[in-house]
Amino acid sequence: VSAERLRVSLYGDGQVNRNVAAILRRRSGYDVLGPYDRGGRDRALRDGTDVVVIATTSFLTEIADDVRAALTSGSNVITTAEEAAFPWAVDASLAGEFDELARREGVTGLGCGLNPGLAFDALVLTAAGAAWEVERIRVQRSVDLSRFSSTILRRLGVGYEPAEFAAGVREGTIHGHIGFPQSMRIVAGAVGVELERIDRQIEPIYARHAHATADMSIPPGATAGFTQRYTGIVGGRGWYEAVFTGHVDPVANGTPPRDQIDVLGTTPLHLVVEPGFDPQTGSSAMIANSIRRLVAARPGWLTVAELPPAHPG
Ligand SMILES: NC(=O)c1ccc[n+]([C@@H]2O[C@H](COP(=O)([O-])OP(=O)(O)OC[C@H]3O[C@@H](n4cnc5c(N)ncnc54)[C@H](OP(=O)(O)O)[C@@H]3O)[C@@H](O)[C@H]2O)c1
């Protein structure tokens, strides 16, 4: 696979795929088509390229037709949609359909990025390789949100007055970061633990002064970030605790970008990445660096726990 020239088409003309195109075009061994916007959907998905990258939205139902089109055209599929990293957590029948379709076509599907894809799952499992057993896991991640588009910031929960934030959480239009149940289920499944449930909480962080991103102004008193806590419960107790703080000015907020993984047990492990993984460059790299491991993998819809580590190549 490493010597093989690969045709890769990119669907979704956003920051991830623009970066993936730039990464792959710096390398020999790839013919890159796109990124294509909605108008280029058929060319992106139905060309039968070796790999189709779908980087459009986070939700399984919204990518389902695109995934079907690419798989039935004989392409391997990699998507940044967080829910697709472990689609069984969202819709077991759709996940089963993707898996069956991929097997029938002899191709592979994967949901991947930095988060899910590395910070809360693959890297946790890699660190756990040096542990005698896993009694408990704690992962804390602090992320700079300032370079996300306003569409993504609004969905995350940034730029809202207090009452709007509370209503958005209640009504399900504010999601915070998506993908914790997927990461937790990937890790639990790999180490043979059954999660009873996953509890979740999201708390707003209000701006003390005005902030501005490329396409959003945040007045004082509106949300400039948030903290999410997800807890995977086993035996009635927290087994996997994930804490994610996102902010448009994380240094001023006192939460500079940082990733910390603790794998607790007889041989406790403490892994820190400082500054933390960059959400933009890191995610695009994870996608570009997953293409060859995807092509080499067995057919079916897989998770990052079933693949070797991603790396440039
Ligand atoms: N797993 C991970 O670690 C990870 C990492 C990075 C990103 N992501 C996720 O991947 C997605 C893309 O990220 P991004 O930063 O590239 O976002 P972005 O900059 O907002 O770009 C998304 C692009 O996709 C298009 N799009 C949206 N919905 C679409 C649909 N249903 N069909 C076709 N095109 C559609 C948008 O075009 P329009 O303007 O026409 O809507 C936009 O050009 C996001 O949902 C993000 O949360 C996941």
pLDDT, tens digit only, all 313 positions of the chain: 567 899 999 999 999 999 999 999 999 999 999 999 999 999 999 999 999 999 999 999 999 999 999 999 999 999 999 999 999 999 999 999 999 999 999 999 999 999 999 999 999 999 999 999 999 999 999 999 999 999 999 999 999 999 999 999 999 999 999 999 999 999 999 999 999 999 999 999 999 999 999 999 999 999 999 999 999 999 999 999 999 999 999 999 999 999 999 999 999 999 999 999 999 999 999 999 999 999 999 999 999 999 999 999 9
Number of residues that make up the chain? 313
CB of 202 closer than 8 Å to CB of 169: yes
Asked if residues 127 and 190 have their Cβ atoms less than 8 Å apart, the reply is no
* Residue minimizing CA distance to atom 42 of ligand 1: 14
pTM value? Answer: 0.96
- What confidence score (pLDDT) does residue 246 get? 98
d(Cα 225, Cα 155) in Å, to the nearest integer?
12
> For residue 1, what pLDDT is reported?
54
As given in the structure block, the two tokens for residue 129 are: 């390789």
For residue 66, give the ligand 1 atom closest to its CA: 32
CA distance 258 to 119: 11
pLDDT by residue (tens digit) across 40-60? 999 999 999 999 999 999 999
Probe target for ligand 1 pocket from 9, 11, 16, 158, with the most ligand atoms within 8 Å of CB: 16
The pLDDT, as a whole number, for residue 294 is: 98
- Residue 33: what pLDDT? 98
Mutate to test the pocket of ligand 1, among 10, 37, 56 (most ligand atoms within 8 A of CB): 56
111: exposed, middle or buried (C-beta count within 10 Å: 0-12, 13-18, 19+)? buried
Distance CA 155, CA 112 (A): 19
Cα(140)–Cα(228) distance, integer angstroms: 10
- Identify the CA nearest to 301 among candidates 166, 130, 100: 100
Q: Hey, what are 54's tokens?
A: 């779908």
| Ligand 1 center–CA 56 separation, angstroms | 3
Helical axes 15-25 vs 279-288, angle rounded to 10°: 50
Q: Which amino acid type is present at position 120? A: F
Residue 23: which H helix or E strand, with range? helix 15-25
285 C-beta closer than 6 A to ligand 1 = no
Cα(105) to ligand 1 centroid in Å equals 26
Integer Cα distance of 278 and 275 in angstroms:
8
Report the residue among 10, 42, 57, 277 best suited for mutation to probe ligand 1: largest number of ligand atoms under 8 A from its CB.
57
65 CB near ligand 1 (under 6 Å) = no
Q: What is the model's pLDDT at position 2? A: 60
Pairing of strands 51-54, 258-264: unpaired
Q: For 214, which DSSP code?
A: T
> Given the CA of residue 57, which atom of ligand 1 is nearest to it?
45
Ligand 1 touching residue 122 (CB < 6 A) = no
> 242 - beta bridge partners?
139, 230
Name the burial class of residue 299, with classes exposed (0-12), middle (13-18) and buried (19+) by CB atoms within 10 angstroms of its CB.
Answer: middle
